[in-house]
Amino acid sequence: MKLNTEGSSNRTLEDTCKLQAQQIEELTAKLNWYEEQFRLSQQKRFGASSEQTHPDQLSVFNEAEKELRPAKEEPTIEEITYKRKKNKGLNKKSFDDLPVEVVEYKLEEEDKICPTCNGPLHEMSKEIRKELIIIPAQVKVVEHVRYVYACRQCEKDNTTTPIITAKMPNPVLPGSFASPSLLAYIMNRKYSEAVPLYRQEQQFINFGIDLSRQNFANWIIHGANNWLKYLYDRMHYYLLNETVIFADETTMQVLDEEGKKPTSKSYMWLYGTGTPGPQIFLYEYQPSRASKHPKEFLKGFKGFLQTDGYQGYNDVSDVIQVGCFAHARRGFTDTLKALPKDSTVSKTNAQEGVDFCNELFRIERALKELSPEERYIKRLEQSKPVLEAFLSWLNIKKEQVLPKSNLGKAINYCLNQWSKLESFMLDGRLEISNNRAERAIKPFVIGRKNFLFSKSPKGATASAMVYSVIETAKANGLNPFYYLNYLFEKLPNIDLEDMDELDKLLPWSNSIPEGCKIPNKN
């Protein structure tokens, strides 16, 4: 009986030791994970945000064979010393499109006498100094006076006197002194230059004009809902008729949303076109990140939809989803940032993942100038072998790393998204990343840091329309202020139900006047 008790005690101790060893292993893994997250958060807070890799970085591919040059002679030392004039200052060619005011300094007639022989002086040469002159914003009142005419002869004959009124353009805001240029100025400052309304209010006070930010907000909502909405809907129509659309979304805060706390998150969605074709970027405010929103906005679209892999786009029908290799690479770069300095194996694995992605991006840069048809063929020759090697590497490394580690998450992201990641191979018009959408949504993110929130859903919707017009204008080479001013002059005076008239006002239309275009420095 005693032996049985001792055997039972030994088994109990062995089980306890195994359990403790398992707990130690789990706690160690958790500790390593928390350390990774801490290092990553510190890097994001204080480190460089760029994911660029050094051009001399060793490649995971056949570098030895690639760099081998058997016939190349050993290098010798040759010292070359020379001097050259260093370029300093601005490139004065960039001033060529600016208006020029010439101020001449000449001698008076009585002073054009040689001090030596008293003979007449003639102009030998000129010295020219160029300066950039800044003219601050000026505010003035324009009175629109419309004359009314009548016939004196009809008055004498006591017949019905016709009353004829001269034509005058319709105002952008009836009953208001806001002009097209004032409305365009306020919108451009807020949405293109990220200057909040309260700062603009102070600037107008400095002009000696008392205008409140409430006036500005009302004008923006009126201008967007009454005029820009027609252009927005027309651009939406053309967007849905494209074959490639990029999409992204980011958070925003709207205070007065029904059924939601002021601190809750709302979302600004972004949809953009690819190349070739008209450059269109449309923003859409929605109170949530639900999948029903892109499904509704993209209703009727058939083609390729490129995103960052968010599952909310999965409900969009009749599309082929394309993934983003920039997001795939980011998982490996974040792993490198989070690893301790003495971690060699994990660092090597993470670097190999980065190298695979970098090789794909290198190929894309080399194929950038090709036509879509040529790019498709070259991708099959050059990118396909890299993708196959990368997928094989991912499947091997998946079994060797902890799933919850940063490296494990990066690998699992790639494997879960693989069908979308390799979809860029299907068409030469597709891009390897969703960076186009991320760049387009960045102006909103920058503006959000300055004006923090929208007061109401109505204001958020108006902001989405203004952002759409401004960013699409910039993508098509237009100056946002001059283009908005042109729109607010034209839209109140055309038939808004006439699609041909609206099409003439679209940012890529040939009917847009040269004064709205940014000068081509090339």
Over residues 305-323, the pLDDT tens digits come to: 999 888 999 999 999 999 9
Largest interatomic CA distance in the chain: 140
Q: Mean of the pLDDT values across residues 438-454? A: 77
Neighbouring C-beta atoms of residue 218, cutoff 10 Å:
15
Report the distance separating Cα 422 and Cα 509, nearest Å. 35
CA–centroid distance for 487 within its chain? 23
Report the distance separating Cα 254 and Cα 267, nearest Å. 9
Does the bond joining 276 to the residue before it have cis omega, within 30 degrees of 0?
yes
The structure tokens listed for 462 are 């108006």
Q: How confident is the model at residue 92 (pLDDT cuts 50, 70, 90)?
A: low
Any idea where the domains of the chain sit in the sequence?
180-239+442-516, 243-438
Angle made by CA atoms 49, 194, 272, in degrees to the nearest 5? 70
**C-alpha distances out from residue 151 to 122, 146, 166, 477, 501, Å:** 65, 17, 14, 50, 36
CB-based burial label for 504 (10 Å; 0-12, 13-18, 19+) = middle
The residues facing 7 across adjacent strands are none
The structure tokens listed for 298 are 């993209």
3-state helix, strand and coil shares in percent for the chain, rounded to the nearest 5? 50, 10, 40
Q: Mean of the pLDDT values across residues 339-345? A: 68
Q: Mean of the pLDDT values across residues 255-273? A: 87
Q: Are 439 and 326 in contact (CB under 8 A)?
A: no
The residues facing 245 across adjacent strands are 273, 305
Is beta strand 148-150 parallel, antiparallel or unpaired with respect to 163-165?
Answer: antiparallel
Q: In sequence order, what are the residues at sequence separation of 6 or more whose Cβ sits closer than 8 angstroms to the Cβ of residue 90?
A: none
Q: Which amino acid is located at 513 in the chain?
A: P
Give the DSSP H/E element, type plus range, for residue 223. helix 213-223
| For residue 139, pLDDT beyond 50 | yes
Report the distance separating Cα 472 and Cα 489, nearest Å. 19
Q: Judge if pTM exceeds 0.85.
A: no
DSSP E strand stretches across 146-215: 148-150, 163-165
Q: How confident is the model at residue 134 (pLDDT cuts 50, 70, 90)?
A: confident
What are the contacts of 154-161 at 24+ separation with CB within 8 A? none
| For residue 499, pLDDT beyond 80 | yes
| For residue 368, pLDDT beyond 60 | yes
Mean pLDDT lowest among 43-52, 163-172, 181-190, 218-227: 43-52
Nearest of 367, 487, 488 to residue 430 by alpha carbon: 367
Report the distance separating Cα 133 and Cα 43, nearest Å. 43
Q: Which amino acid is located at 145 in the chain?
A: V
| For residue 350, pLDDT beyond 70 | yes
Q: How confident is the model at residue 109 (pLDDT cuts 50, 70, 90)?
A: confident
Q: Mean of the pLDDT values across residues 213-222? A: 92
